[in-house]
């Protein structure tokens, strides 16, 4: 017998057990997909830079808001996403997890760990895109950010809150300057963030190793998007790094952030724009490529005392082709930043390392933050070096030299040698004061040419063992008194007498 009641009850039970959950998120469907770009129809209230969730757990970022569809770029799952897949809008822009927990870690631009360690446990996030501090919120750059590199700290000083571009051809030591600066922040209470954009994974591995070995990871976070990461990840990497930097800056801390490099960032943006069929302009970059970098670099600032006085110092890196600084991206970034350190292949190959071209390098705000003693003794340096260079080029044609010219040439050569500096060898401010004082004094004439580097190294060692008292007396924040100056010179003379004349002269020769 068929029991209608029982069957009815069964059906009712089953229907009740069907989960009554409706996904109320706004969703649409993919109408076009290819090369990591998707177009979605049905999402009407999408925002610019909103995070979308694609079926399968992939994420995408909206970039083109059109009347009938939304264009977005995929962070992952390029080859898994298909026509017709459902896409949910999240209503949120991209967020970066922030907090002390990120220090010492290597993360991708969305905050996922890449160092094989535990997931990052932080409940705080910041939007990847954020408005720059207003004029009223900014303070004056008045504290130096010591790079430990003599040529830079003496002639192109960088202040906390400044944006200083490092520009040069490939393999001219751009990254080396940035890494040396990070290493020099040990014990300086500066948090460092190194953003790697589109670099080879092997180059990044080397950098990580260097930072680890020097104990610099204790105050550094690395935000990485390597060359084989999806283009949108390379695109948001600097903004993610900046969001993390802002978190610390608004707490009143000092942050140093390195963007290595913005040329690759611009190329990533160009790729996305062309795939999104945006109109191409000069060098095929889209029209808003200036805004791409200006909105990023404007976020670096020195906050006023009322706002906590924190700072973000930015060191963007730009690669040039054959030294052409008038190309599109270099001119853009030069005009946005507060100065540039221009590195030259010719100098680099002729052994002048760091290969800073002093004539074309400038720092527009750091001078006021420079330590008093360094400012005093390096005042004439730039002019003297320029004079030397000019003379040296002229003298290549060969002619009889009077003794005055000879002296200028030899002094200039010795000064150039003094400014040469090995990688990872950072000078303290006091060491810089000693080197600059000696190299610019009459004593320099007593040091044989080509032995200047070895002499400097020896002198510093000698001072550290024999004149600790004098080192105490040097105060970098005061003008160098005549008494201290003559003490430095007399120790240097003592060292010249016992080294250049004696057996360590031979040692210097072999070292040279
Ligand atoms: P890329 O264009 O590939 O990013 P880069 O301009 O960042 O190159 P680096 O990688 O920093 O250049 O340096 C290139 C090479 O020069 C490295 O092998 C580095 O060890 C060496 N180098 C950099 N600075 C110095 C220096 N001051 N003294 C000696 N060698 C240096
Ligand atoms: Mg590099």
Cα separation of 512 and 372, whole Å? 33
**d(C-alpha 421, C-alpha 198), whole Å:** 28
**Residue 364 is a catalytic residue:** yes
Q: Which of 295, 364, 382, 389 is catalytic?
A: 364
Choice from 147, 169, 173, 194 to test ligand 1 binding pocket (greatest atom count within 8 A of CB): 173
Q: Please name which ligand lies nearest the alpha carbon of 423.
A: 1
Determine the distance separating the centroid of ligand 2 and the alpha carbon of 120, expressed in angstroms.
28
Structure confidence at residue 398 as a pLDDT band (50, 70, 90)? low
Confidence of residue 399 (pLDDT cuts 50, 70, 90): low
- Report the pLDDT value the prediction gives residue 401, as an integer from 0 to 100: 77
- Give yes or no for residue 500 having a pLDDT over 80: no
Q: Say if residue 512's pLDDT is above 60.
A: no
Tens digits of per-residue pLDDT, 408-450? 899 999 999 999 999 999 999 999 999 999 999 999 999 988 8
Supply the residue whose CA is at minimum distance from atom 17 of ligand 1.
Answer: 173
Task: Identify the residue whose C-alpha is closest to ligand 1 atom 3.
Answer: 171
Whether the pLDDT of residue 503 is over 80: the answer is no
In 3D, which of 336, 333, 353 has the Cα closest to residue 344?
353
Closest residue by CA, ligand 1 atom 31: 423
CA distance 183 to 421: 15
> CB under 6 Å to ligand 1: residues?
168, 170-176, 319, 353-354, 421-423
Work out which ligand 1 atom sits closest to the CA atom of 355.
Answer: 27
- Separation CA 279–CA 265 (nearest Å): 18
Counting every residue written for the chain, the total comes to: 512
Whose atoms come closest to the Cα of 260: which ligand? 2
DSSP secondary structure string, 151-162?
Answer: HHHHHS--BTT-
Distance in angstroms (rounded) separating the CA atoms of residues 327 and 36: 29
Which tokens sit at 90?
Answer: 């999240």
Q: What is the mean pLDDT of residues 81-93?
A: 92
Does the pLDDT value for residue 393 go beyond 90?
A: no
Report how far ligand 1's centroid is from the alpha carbon of 354 (Å).
9
pLDDT tops 50 at residue 496:
yes
C-alpha distances in Å from residue 68, one per residue of 44, 65, 166, 346: 8, 9, 43, 54
pLDDT at 390: 86
Give the DSSP H or E segment for 416. helix 403-419
Domains of the chain plus CATH, in order, are 27-93 (2.40.30.20), 97-317+327-370 (3.40.50.300), 382-511 (1.20.150.20)
Q: Encode pLDDT of 198-251 as tens digits.
A: 999 999 999 999 999 999 999 999 999 999 999 999 999 999 999 999 999 999
pLDDT at 100 > cutoff 70: yes
pLDDT confidence of 140, banded at 50, 70, 90? very high
- Nearest CA to 176 out of 267, 297, 260 is that of 260
pLDDT at 352 over 50: yes
pLDDT, tens digit (0-9, with 9 covering 90-100), for 149-175: 999 999 999 999 999 999 999 999 999
Give the ligand with the smallest distance to the CA of 176.
Answer: 1
pLDDT of residue 327: 96
Tell the residue nearest (CA) to atom 23 of ligand 1: 173
List the residue whose alpha carbon is closest to atom 21 of ligand 1.
173
Confidence of residue 394 (pLDDT cuts 50, 70, 90): confident
What digits encode the pLDDT tens for the residues 260-311?
999 999 999 999 999 999 999 999 999 999 999 999 999 999 999 999 999 9
Distance from Cα 259 to the centre of ligand 2, integer Å:
10
Residue 405 has a pLDDT of 85
What's the mean pLDDT when you consider all of the chain? 92
CA of 185 to the centre of ligand 2 (A): 20
- Residue given tokens 């969730």 in the structure block: 53
**Of the bound ligands, which one is closest to the alpha carbon of residue 174?**
1
In whole angstroms, give the CA distance from residue 363 to residue 264: 24
Q: How many angstroms separate the alpha carbon of residue 173 from the centre of ligand 1? A: 3
Helix 231-249 to helix 262-275 angle (10° resolution) is 130
CB 158 within 8 A of CB 363: yes
**Distance between Cα 315 and ligand 2 center (Å):** 12
3-state secondary structure of 6: helix
The stretch 450-476 carries a mean pLDDT of: 93
Task: Enumerate residues 6+ apart whose C-beta is below 8 A from 1.
Answer: none
H helical segments located in 250-362: 262-275, 289-297, 328-336, 345-349
Report percent pLDDT > 70 for the chain. 96
Read off the pLDDT band of 346 (50, 70, 90).
very high
Which of 268, 185, 280, 281 has the alpha carbon at shortest distance from 232?
A: 268
Model-level pTM?
A: 0.91
**Which residue of 169, 171, 342 sits with most ligand 1 atoms within 8 Å of its CB, as the best mutation to test the pocket?**
171
Q: How confident is the model at residue 400 (pLDDT cuts 50, 70, 90)?
A: confident
- The reply to whether omega before 84 is within 30° of 0 (cis) is no
What is the DSSP code (8-state) at residue 207? Answer: H
């Amino acid at each position: 017998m068929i029991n209608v009641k029982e069957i009815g009850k069964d059906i009712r039970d089953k229907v009740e057990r069907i989960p009554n959950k409706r996904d109320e998120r706004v969703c649409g469907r993919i109408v076009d997909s290819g090369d990591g770009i998707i177009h979605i129809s049905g999402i009407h209230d999408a925002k610019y830079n909103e995070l979308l969730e694609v079926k399968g757990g992939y994420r995408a970022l909206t970039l083109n808001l059109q009347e009938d569809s939304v264009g977005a770029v995929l962070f992952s799952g390029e080859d898994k996403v298909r026509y017709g897949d459902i896409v949910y809008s999240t209503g949120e822009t991209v967020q970066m997890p922030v907090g002390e927990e990120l220090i010492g870690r290597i993360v991708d631009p969305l905050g996922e760990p890449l160092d094989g360690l535990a997931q990052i446990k932080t409940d705080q996030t910041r939007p990847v895109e954020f408005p720059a501090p207003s004029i009223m919120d900014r303070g004056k750059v008045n504290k130096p950010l010591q790079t430990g590199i003599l040529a830079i700290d003496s002639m192109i000083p960088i202040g906390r809150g400044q944006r200083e571009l490092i520009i040069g051809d490939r393999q001219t030591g751009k990254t080396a300057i940035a890494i040396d600066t990070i290493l020099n922040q040990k014990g300086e209470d500066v948090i460092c963030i190194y953003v790697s954009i589109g670099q080879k994974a092997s180059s990044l591995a080397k950098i990580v190793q260097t930072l680890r070995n020097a104990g610099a990871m204790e105050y550094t976070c690395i935000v990485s998007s390597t060359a084989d990461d999806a283009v949108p990840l390379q695109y948001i990497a600097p903004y993610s790094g900046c969001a993390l930097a802002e978190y610390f800056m608004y707490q009143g801390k000092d942050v140093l952030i390195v963007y290595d490099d913005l040329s690759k960032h611009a190329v990533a943006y160009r790729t996305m724009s062309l795939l999104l069929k945006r109109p191409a302009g000069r060098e095929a970059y889209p029209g808003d490529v200036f805004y791409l970098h200006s909105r990023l670099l404007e976020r670096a600032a020195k906050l006023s005392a009322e706002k906590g006085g924190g700072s973000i110092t930015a060191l963007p890196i730009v690669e040039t082709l054959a030294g052409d600084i008038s190309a599109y991206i270099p001119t853009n970034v030069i005009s946005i930043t507060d100065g540039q350190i221009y590195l030259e292949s010719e100098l680099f190959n002729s052994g002048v390392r760091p290969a800073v071209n002093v004539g074309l390098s400038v720092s527009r705000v750091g001078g006021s933050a420079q330590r008093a003693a360094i400012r005093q003794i390096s005042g004439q340096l730039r002019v003297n070096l320029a004079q030397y260079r000019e003379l040296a080029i002229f003298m290549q044609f060969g002619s009889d030299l009077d003794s005055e010219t000879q002296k200028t040439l030899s002094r200039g050569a010795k000064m150039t040698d003094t400014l040469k500096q090995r990688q990872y060898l950072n000078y303290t401010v006091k060491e810089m004061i000693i080197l600059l004082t000696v190299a610019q004094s009459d004593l320099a004439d007593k040091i044989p040419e080509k032995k200047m580097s070895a002499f400097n190294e020896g002198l510093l060692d000698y001072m550290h063992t024999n004149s600790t008292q004098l080192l105490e007396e040097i105060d970098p924040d005061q003008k160098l008194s005549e008494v201290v100056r003559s003490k430095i010179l007399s120790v240097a003379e003592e060292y010249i007498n016992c080294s250049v004349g004696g057996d360590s002269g031979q040692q210097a020769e072999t070292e040279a």
